[in-house]
Amino acid sequence: MCCLLFMYSNMTFSQVWEIEDLQIALPEGVANNAVVEGFLNDKPYVFSFGGIDQTKEHGGIHLKSFRLDLENQIWESIDPLPDDMGKIAAGASTIGDTIYIIGGYHVFPNGSELSSNKVHRYSISQNLFLADGMDIPVPIDDHVQSIYLNRYIYIVTGWSNTTNVPDVQIYDTKTDTWLSGTPVPDNNVYKSFGASGAILGDTLYYFGGASFAGSFPIQNVVRKSPLNSENPTSLDWSHAFYSEVGYRMASIATENQIHWIGGSNTTYNFDGIAYNGTGGVAPNKQILSANASDVFNDLISYDDLNLPMDLRGIAAINDTTFIVAGGMEEKQLVSDKTIQITFHKDQISSNIKHIKTAITAYPNPCKNTLHISGVPMSNEILQSLIIHQNGSKEWIDIWDNKLDVQHLPPGKYLLQITHGKNIYTSKFIKA
């Protein structure tokens, strides 16, 4: 469901997105590391803090920090995070000369975990860690983290020791204090770990993640709230469901769009093994994009891109150039790659092949005939792709907005209808 792809050695072009392996290896492979940009005299750097090494074992979770001099294409080790134990799933944000590395979790030899309440502060110009900031009120990891007004860092939901929490914790970098924002609704639609998001204009968005139920099922929800510069703790949450899912993606905002980059379509533990018992997880190799004015209606999917999973941040070099450092590749290989992602925004309108739009299918659950509402049909037969939860697929004709499903075995299904440049999607249950 993306535009035409071309392959050139270590570079992939999708006309809208250009993915290039810069062939600048990290000092070692690392995943689940907090990644962010920083500038010194307008010179760009990429930073990586903490993470897990190529062993993918609890003993491989570390405090190592690395800095990439992008101009000279050299990675170097810098001082480690000033903590007592290695940690993963932290977030990093840059404001001015300071990088704030927030949260994360430690793993003990017996497999138990402890969420961090630390705010580490790193000075870019001095190339050293400053004294820690004020402790996080609710220890947190695998959270959504984004900057507002070049002052506030929003920490939204995430995992705290034993469960997902609804807290919205706001760090005021100017006063080194924490504010309490309007929490997300206390349910499994909003509470999440491994979700990602960004602030675009005066709106905060986050997508995907894992809910606290069973084997931590993956989420297919975009949530958003407007932000109030006069009252930054006041939020008003709303959401929309999609056929797409995502876990441990990077997220970035560009002008009037927000993007979710890489990640996986199955939730997993720090070793890359699925929580649901299906074994090793693979990257989804996709970018999902949405216009700010239409994020609740359309997600644009660019597929078959050479991107890793297990991402906890991305470095924004400018409005169109981004860097991913490390992550997990196919077969849960912990990566030492430095990948540059270039966004060719001028190619969007002419090259989008499909836009996915949610529609209504009823009755739901359904035994015999499924009725479709929301597709602009005009006395024509359309083909629909029916995807069972076990992965099996079948094409079924739709006539007069009706779909015969009586032959399908009971279960959960995804419905996709292609019409023009649109893909219309819905979920239904066959009773």
pLDDT average, residue stretch 237-266: 94
CB under 8 Å to 321, separation ≥6 — which residues? 340, 341, 342, 343
CB under 8 Å to 392, separation ≥6 — which residues? none
Residue 3 has pLDDT above 50, yes or no: no
CB under 8 Å to 93, separation ≥6 — which residues? 36, 99, 100, 102, 145, 146, 147, 153
Confidence label for 53 from pLDDT (cuts 50, 70 and 90): very high
Query: 3-state class of 331 per DSSP?
Result: helix
Burial class (CB in 10 A: 0-12, 13-18, 19+), 87: buried
pLDDT average, residue stretch 224-250: 95
- Residue, of 241 and 228, whose pLDDT is higher: 228
Predicted local distance difference test score (pLDDT) of residue 4: 27
Confidence label for 270 from pLDDT (cuts 50, 70 and 90): very high
Summarised one tens digit per residue, pLDDT across range 85-135 is 999 999 999 999 999 999 999 999 999 999 999 999 999 999 999 999 999
In CATH, the number for domain 6-355 is 2.120.10.80
> Which candidate, 17, 150, 24, 171, places its Cα nearest to that of 91?
171
Task: Please write down the long-range contacts of 399-402, taking CB distance under 8 Å and 24 or more positions apart.
Answer: 401/371, 401/372, 401/373, 401/375, 401/377, 402/369, 402/370, 402/371, 402/372
Residue 389 has pLDDT above 90, yes or no: no
Residue 379 has pLDDT above 70, yes or no: no
Residue 380 has pLDDT above 90, yes or no: no
Predicted local distance difference test score (pLDDT) of residue 60: 98
Predicted local distance difference test score (pLDDT) of residue 242: 83
Summarised one tens digit per residue, pLDDT across range 329-364 is 999 999 999 999 999 877 665 444 455 556 788 899
Predicted local distance difference test score (pLDDT) of residue 398: 82
Per-residue HEC secondary structure of 115-184 comes to EECCEEEEECCCCEECCCCCCCCCCEECCEEEEECCCEEEEECCEECCEECCCEEEEECCCCEEEEECCC
Predicted local distance difference test score (pLDDT) of residue 9: 32
Confidence label for 420 from pLDDT (cuts 50, 70 and 90): low
Mean pLDDT of the chain: 90
Query: Domain 359-430 in CATH: superfamily?
Result: Immunoglobulins (2.60.40.10)
Domain edges within the chain: 6-355, 359-430
How many percent of the chain have pLDDT more than 70? 90
